[in-house]
Structures are given as C-alpha cells and as structure tokens.
Amino acid sequence: MKMLIAANWKMHGAMDWIKKPVHFDTVLPAKDRKAIDVLICPPALYLAAMVEPAMDNNVFIGAQDCHAADEGAHTGDISAKQIAETGARYVINGHSERRANGETDANVKAKAEAALRHALTPIICVGETLDQRESGEAQAVVAKQLSGSLPEVEGKSFVVAYEPVWAIGTGKTATPSDIADMHNFIRTIVGPDTRILYGGSVKPANAAAIFAVETVNGALIGGAGLDMYSLADIAQAAL
C-alpha cells in the first residue's frame, strides 16, 4: 500500500503558510513522489484557503480534529461536515495531546464515525505513556484504545497512527524494534489493509530507519513537518 506522509502543524502557522504546499512541490515535485501520498493538517482557519493550491500540487489537506455532531451549540468546534465542505480529505482523531486533555475512546470513535459519514478519512491515534510502557502495559493500553476508538462503519477505510507518548518531544526515541513490535500487534487487530503510521518524533535523520520497518505505512509528523525542506526529506526517505 502507498505510504502516507502526514504533517500535523498543530497550533502553528500564519496566513502566508497557505503557500507552503506550492513550495513543497518545488522541493519535491509531484512527478517524483507518485508512490506516496502527502498530507498537511493545518489549523482549521487555513483549511479552505489551502485546499485548492495543495491539490493542484498533489498534496492532500486534512483537519486536526472534528466534532461528533454535524451542527449545534458547540462553541469553538468544527464539524466533519464543515471540514468536508472545504475540500479537505482527512481528519486526525484522538491525538495524544487531545487525549491528555480528557478526550475518551468513546469521543474518538464518535468523531471518526462522523468523519466517515462525510467521506473524510479519519487518522485514529493511539499510544501509551512511559509509565504504561515501563509497567508492561503498552499493548494492553493500545488494544483498549483501539477497541474503544475504531469506528463501526462497514466498508469504510481509516488510518491508525501509533504515537508512543513517551517518545514525543521528550528526547527519548523508540527503536525500530519497539516500533515493529507495536505495529505488528496493531496489525493483528486492524487487519492487512489498514495503513498504520508511526508518530513519535519523526525527523529526516531517523525517517529511513523507521520506514524500513515492514509494518510502517507512513508517518504522522509534528515539528519536522513545518518546514517544507524537512518534510520533503522525510517524504524522500519513504520513496
């Protein structure tokens, strides 16, 4: 299956960043990356402005979250229906930063099902903390998150992103063996056709080793996805 290289911009950016997908294409032209999919998930207010220039340069655009409801009195939220109307194609659900703020598996599942209702592809994030890993609970934690978070919608595709919370912005690094063990475990749950991304401090320096793991089908990238040269280096490693 095609690798998916997904940049999560989090709460970074300015209006002139809408030009970045065009810049990315000058660094790594679309004709040279047909074997992979590239996705940028900017803050919500840039979605509509970014979709057309991004798609013109063979870059997908996605959102960082959505509400489970299509509309209603949910101040500050954005619905999957509204995201789809911008032309975006993906949405991240259950990112570790949102889970840390109280988002539950049931919340993630409801959001993913909303995304699928509106023809968006949810990227469902799971992962354990350092305490959970060191106490031998990593697989049990991830299995529980998957059981509670995966959408119950037949015939629709989703993506899973494994984010070891202990390897995000901490200076700690998951080894290729760590990644392979967890991705192989996730594969037994989601089956052979679901893309499983790795999302733990992916950088140009470690991307090739991560992508060499057979069950890694791409990456969910944080800080290294803000700069188009850095993102292109990671994408090149996937090629």
Amino acid, single-letter form, for residue 131: D
Q: What is the pTM of this model?
A: 0.96
Query: Which class is domain 3-238?
Result: alpha beta
Helices 204-211, 176-190: axis angle to 10 degrees equals 50
Pair 41, 60: CB distance under 8 Å: no
Which residues lie closer than 8 Å to 144 by C-beta, 6 or more apart? 105
Which of 150, 144, 238 has its CA nearest to residue 191?
Answer: 150
How many residues are given for the chain?
A: 239
CA 37-156-159 angle, to 5 degrees, is 40
**Per residue of the chain (239 residues), what is the pLDDT tens digit?**
999 999 999 999 999 999 999 999 999 999 999 999 999 999 999 999 999 999 999 999 999 999 999 999 999 999 999 999 999 999 999 999 999 999 999 999 999 999 999 999 999 999 999 999 999 999 999 999 999 999 998 778 999 999 999 988 776 778 999 999 999 999 999 999 999 999 988 999 999 999 999 999 999 999 999 999 999 999 999 99
Active site residues: 95, 163
pLDDT at position 173 is: 73
Per-residue pLDDT tens digits for 58-73: 999 999 999 999 999 9
The per-residue pLDDT for 70 is 97
Identify the pLDDT of residue 208: 97
Nearest to 126 by CA among 144, 102, 152: 144
Please report the pLDDT score of residue 17 as a whole number: 97
Residue 156 has what pLDDT? 83
The answer to whether residues 196 and 205 touch, using CB atoms and an 8 Å cutoff, is no
Instruction: Give the pLDDT score at 171.
Output: 65
pLDDT score of 101: 95
- % of the chain exceeding 90 in pLDDT: 93
